[in-house]
Structure 1
Amino acid sequence: MKAVLPHPARDEMRIEAVLHALADPVRLRIVRALAECAEGISCGLLDLGVTASTLTHHVRTLREAGVVHVTPRGTSRISTLRREDLDALYPGLLDGVLAAPR
């Protein structure tokens, strides 16, 4: 049986948690990569220059804030951006963050 990872429902997402999750440069790089790949990616495939445990922490922070949805697939965990939820709750936020200079 696969472990189900907890994700906040749309009405449980809080701007403070979303902004905190987006404020970290590594997490922002993850979000930018996911924005370019609608089908989702295993974040372990990204060259982020961090250890596996640090990457796990960053993905968990994004998931718990409601920024990404993580789905176990075999031995991987595929992350997708929760753009629909973020756009519904905070119109323009994600577009502004993604358009910001790197």
Structure 2
Amino acid sequence: MTPRTQSPPAARELDHPALGEIRLEGVLHALSDPVRLQIVRTLATAGEGLACSVFDLPVSKSTTTHHFRVLRESGVIHQSYRGTAKMSTLRRDDLERLFPGLLDSVLTAAARQEARPGG
């Protein structure tokens, strides 16, 4: 009897828009929600990919999943699996190439808003 070789399980891949598919109105929509903006601000300061589980967001787990999906499908973040963790990184270089200065302007404006009285 010949031993059967098994293929390794296929890596779980998530759909991401290609660079040419990222639209300004989709990015602006994704950044317009306070929870999604909080996610982006956290990723911008992290400097590395973060597991979704490290975010302490004021919404349910299913709503958190929705917010990450909106960010991924709009092209703002990239997500990949590392073991069982879904890691998220900011697509800063892609966004800068398509919309120069947009992300930095939004992040700066968000920081200024937070610093205002009643932030």
TM category, shorter: over 0.9
User: Match of 1:98, SS?
Assistant: helix
Code of the aligned partner of 1:49: P
Q: What corresponds to 1:44 in structure 2?
A: 53
After the TM superposition, which of the residue ranges 62-71 and 35-44 deviates more from structure 2? 35-44
Deviations 1:30-72 (A, max 9, x none): 0000001121101221111111111100000000000000010
Deviations 1:3-48 (A, max 9, x none): 2100001111000100000000000000000001121101221111
Which among 81, 84, 95 is matched to residue 86 of structure 1?
Answer: 95
Query: Would you say how many aligned residue pairs link Structure 1 and Structure 2?
Result: 102
Larger radius of gyration: 2
Counterparts of 1:44 and 1:36 in 2: how far apart (Å)? 17
TM-score of the pair, normalised by structure 1: 0.96
Which among 71, 91, 95 is matched to residue 104 of structure 2?
Answer: 95
Q: What corresponds to 2:86 in structure 1?
A: 77
User: Match of 1:39, SS?
Assistant: coil
Q: What corresponds to 1:12 in structure 2?
A: 21
CA RMSD of aligned residues (A): 0.8
Counterparts of 2:52 and 2:108 in 1: how far apart (Å)? 21
Which among 41, 58, 64 is matched to residue 32 of structure 1?
Answer: 41
TM-score of the pair, normalised by structure 2: 0.83
Please identify runs of 4+ aligned residues in structure 1 that moved more than 3 A: none
Code of the aligned partner of 2:28: L
Contact 1:44 1:52 in 2 (8 A): no
Q: Where does the alignment leave 5 or more consecutive residues of structure 1 unmatched?
A: none
Q: What corresponds to 1:62 in structure 2?
A: 71
Question: Which structure has more RCO (C-alpha within 8 Å, separation ≥ 6)?
Answer: 1
Report sequence identity in percent.
58
